[in-house]
Amino acid sequence: MTLEQYQLHPQHDYYLTHHGAKDTVTGSCHELRINDINLLIDCGLFQGKDSQPLNIEFDIDHIDALLITHAHIDHIGRLPWLLAAGFDKPIYCTQATAELIPLMLDDGLKLQLGLNQKQREKVLAHLKTLIVPLEYNQLKNIKGRQVPSSWSLGKEHEHTRDFLSFCFKPAGHILGSAYIEITLPNDEIIVFSGDLGPRNTPLLPDPISPKRADYLVIESTYGNKTHDDVATRSKRLEVIVEKSLLDGGVILIPAFSVGRTQELLFDIERLIEHSIETESTDDDYWQQLPIILDSPLAIEVTEQYMKFHELWNKEAQDGLSVGRKRHPMAFEQFVMVESHKDHMRLVNRLTSTNEPAIVVAASGMCNGGRIMNYLKALLPDKRTDVILAGYQAQGTLGRDLQNEYSYVEIDGDKVEVNAHIHSMSGYSAHADRDDLLEFIEGIESDIKQIHLIHGEPETKAEFTDVLVKKVNAEVIV
Ligand SMILES: [Zn+2]
C-alpha cells in the first residue's frame, strides 16, 4: 500500500502520514516524522464496514515511540499486532488510559483472536512493560538519533533543536482521553485531537483549546451534526426513571463498554438524588431501584472511573464531598453480576416480579452478550423501557428496535415488542459540530493547517464548508 506523505513545513523535514482513519471513521493511526524522530499516534482497529485484515501493513522499525490518545478500540485495537510485528518502543499515554488499555484489549483478544486466558495474559504482560503513563500536562522530550550538522546551518534553522516535546491535555471524551500537543524542534506546535468530548457532560471536564496550534489534526466524526443538549437528555431520562419507579418496569440499557455507560449511570443517579431532595420522596423509594451492572467489562471500567475521580469535572467532584447522601456514581448501589448463573437468576427474577431496576448489560447494539436474555424476557412487557444510547448499525437488533418493529427475532424466536424504545443522541461521547468549532476557534494563535480525520467523506466536506468561513487556515481533507 502506498501512502501519501504530507509535508507540513516547506523548509523542514516534517511529514505526516495517515495509516487509517483518513477516509473512514475507525482505525486511527498516524505517523509523524520530524527530522529523524518518528512517532506513531494511536494504533486503532478498523471496525464494521471498514474492516481490514488485522495486520500492520507499514514499516515500524524506524518508529521511536507510540503516543495513545485514549483507550477506545478504534485507537488501540491493533496494539497486539504491533507487538507481534516486533514493536518494542515506549508507548506513552495518560495514567487512566494505561489502566483501561489492558481491560479493553482483553475482550478483543478473547473474542476476535480466541486466545485463552494464559495467552492473553502473556500478550498483556508484554504490553504493560512498554506502556509509560504520564500525567496530564507533563512534558516529555524525545531526542533524535543523531544531530545532522546541516541543522545548525542556515538562518531559518537557527532555532531548531535536536528533540521534540509533547504532553497530553484533557479531551473530555472518555476517562483518560487526551489530545496531544507536540512542540517541534523549530518551536511550531502540532496538535492531534484524538476524539474530543462534547461540552457540558456531567462527569468529565470540557476540553480546553490549546493556546497555540500551527498544525491541527482533528477528528470530524460528527462535523455535520448537533446532539441533543444535556438538559434535553436529562429531562427525557427523568421521565423514564419516574415511570419506572411508578409502574415497576425495568429500564434496560444496552451498554457500550466505556464512556456513555458511566455518563448515563451518573446522570440517572443525579436525577434520583435530585428527586429525593426536592419531592421529599423517602430513601426507601430509591432503594427500590437497584442499578444492575451485568457486564464484567463495564464493572471494571466503572471501577476505573471511580478510582480516577480526580479527573472528573468540578460538579461531579463536589458530589463526593459533604451534603451528598450517596456517592455520585452510586457505587454501593450497584449490583454486580459476574457469573452466568447469577445472570440467569436475575433475568428470571425481573421477569416474574414487579421490581423496578436499571440493568446495564452488553452489547451496545444488542447483537450478542447478556442484554439478549433480558430483551427476550422483557421486550413483551409494556412497562419495560430500553434506552439506546449510541449508534445502532444496520442489521443489528438495536437498529430493529430503533425502527420500532412490533416483533423482533432473538435466538430464532419471535419476540413481541411492547417495551418503550428510547434513542438518546445526547449520550454520544463525541463532540458535535458546534463543540468542534468551539475547540478550533478557542485556539488563540493562527492555525496554518487543519487536517480533518475520522469522518465520512460527506461529513468532512460539510464541515470544511463551515470551517473555511470561520477560520483562516488551510483545511486539508
Ligand atoms: Zn473514542
User: Is residue 436's pLDDT more than 60?
Assistant: yes
Which helix (H) or strand (E) segment is 357 a member of? strand 357-361
Compute the distance from residue 28 Cα to the ligand 1 centre, in Å.
Answer: 10
Over residues 452-459, the mean pLDDT reads 84
Q: Using the mean position of ligand 1's atoms as its centre, give its distance from the Cα of residue 163 in Å.
A: 29
Q: How far is the CA of 195 from the centre of ligand 1 (A)?
A: 5
Q: What is the pLDDT of residue 121?
A: 94
**Is the backbone peptide bond immediately before 363 cis, with ω within 30 degrees of 0?**
yes
Structure confidence at residue 446 as a pLDDT band (50, 70, 90) = very high
**How far is the centre of ligand 1, averaged over its atoms, from the C-alpha of 70 (Å)?**
7
User: Residue 73 C-alpha to ligand 1 middle, in angstroms?
Assistant: 8
For CA atoms 421, 427, 428, 432, give the dihedral sign: positive
Query: Separation of 280 CA from ligand 1 center, angstroms?
Result: 40
Q: How far is the CA of 106 from the centre of ligand 1 (A)?
A: 17
Of 106 and 68, the one with more pLDDT: 68
Flag whether pLDDT at 1 surpasses 50: no
- In 27-162, beta strands by DSSP E: 30-34, 37-41, 65-67, 91-94, 131-134, 140-143
* Rounded average pLDDT over 408-430: 89
Ligand 1 center–CA 72 separation, angstroms? 5
**177 CA distance to ligand 1 middle (Å):** 8
| Least confidently predicted of 73-82, 170-179, 225-234, 404-413 | 225-234
Residues 447-459, mean pLDDT to the nearest whole number: 88
Q: Kindly tell me if the per-residue pLDDT of 391 is higher than 70.
A: yes
CA 429 to centroid of ligand 1, rounded, Å? 7
Query: Which of the pair, 331 or 177, is modelled with greater confidence?
Result: 177
Name the band, by pLDDT with cuts 50, 70 and 90, for residue 50: very low
Is the model's pLDDT at 155 over the cut of 60? no
pLDDT at 280 over 60: no
- pLDDT-wise least confident of 133-147, 150-164, 332-346, 431-445: 150-164
- Give the whole-angstrom CA distance, residue 26 versus residue 51: 9
Distance 362 CA to ligand 1 centre (A): 18
List Cα–Cα distances, 450 to 211, 313, 348, in angstroms.
15, 29, 54
What spacing in Å lies between the alpha carbon of 427 and ligand 1's midpoint?
A: 13
Ion ligand 1, residue ranges at CB < 5 A: 72, 195
Separation of CA 259 and ligand 1 centre (Å): 9
Q: Would the pLDDT of 153 be above 50? A: no
pLDDT confidence of residue 287: 58
Strand order in the sheet with 334-336: 334-336, 291-293, 357-361, 250-254, 385-388, 420-423
**Whole-model pTM?**
0.85
* Residue 42 CA, ligand 1 centroid: distance in Å: 11
Please compute the mean of the pLDDT values over residues 429-458 and round it to a whole number: 90
In which band, very low, low, confident or very high, does the pLDDT at 279 lie, cut at 50, 70 and 90? low
pLDDT at 76 over 60: yes
Statement: residue 87 has pLDDT above 70: yes
| pLDDT value for 356 | 85
- For residues 166-174, average pLDDT: 96
- pLDDT recorded at residue 421: 94
| Collapsed DSSP state (helix, strand, coil) of residue 335 | strand
Q: What mean pLDDT value characterizes the chain?
A: 85
- For residue 316, the CA-to-ligand 1 centroid distance in Å is 21
Determine the distance separating the centroid of ligand 1 and the alpha carbon of 20, expressed in angstroms: 15
Whole-angstrom distance, CA of residue 266 vs CA of residue 259? 11
Q: What mean pLDDT is predicted for residues 69-93? A: 93
- In this prediction, residue 20 carries a pLDDT of 64
With both helix axes pointing from N to C terminus, report the angle between 95-111 and 117-130 in degrees, rounded to the nearest 10.
Answer: 150
Residue 85 has pLDDT above 80, yes or no: yes
pLDDT at 238: 83
Averaged pLDDT for residues 261-289? 68
pLDDT of 142 reads: 96
| pLDDT tens figures, 306-316 | 889 889 888 78
Q: How far is the CA of 74 from the centre of ligand 1 (A)?
A: 7
Q: How far does the chain reach from its first CA to its final CA, in angstroms?
A: 20
Q: What mean pLDDT comes out for the span 40-66?
A: 78
Burial 441-465 (b: 16+ CB within 10 A, else e): eebeeebbbbbbbbbeeebbebbbe
The torsion defined by the Cα of 277, 279, 284 and 288, in degrees rounded to 10, comes to -100
Question: Most distant CA pair in the chain: distance in Å?
Answer: 81
Q: Is the pLDDT of residue 151 over 80?
A: no
> CA 198, CA 432: separation in Å to the nearest integer?
7
Q: Is the pLDDT of residue 22 over 60?
A: no
* Ligand 1 centroid – CA 47 distance (Å): 12
Domains of the chain: 5-225+430-476 (3.60.15.10), 230-427 (3.40.50.10890)
- pLDDT confidence band for 2 (50 / 70 / 90): very low
Give percent of the chain with pLDDT exceeding 70: 87
Distance 470 CA to ligand 1 centre (A): 26
Ligand 1 geometric centre to CA of 412 (Å): 33
Q: What is the pLDDT of residue 48?
A: 53
What is the C-alpha to C-alpha distance for residues 166 and 146, in angstroms, rounded to an integer? 19
pLDDT at position 146 = 63
Mean pLDDT of 445-467: 90
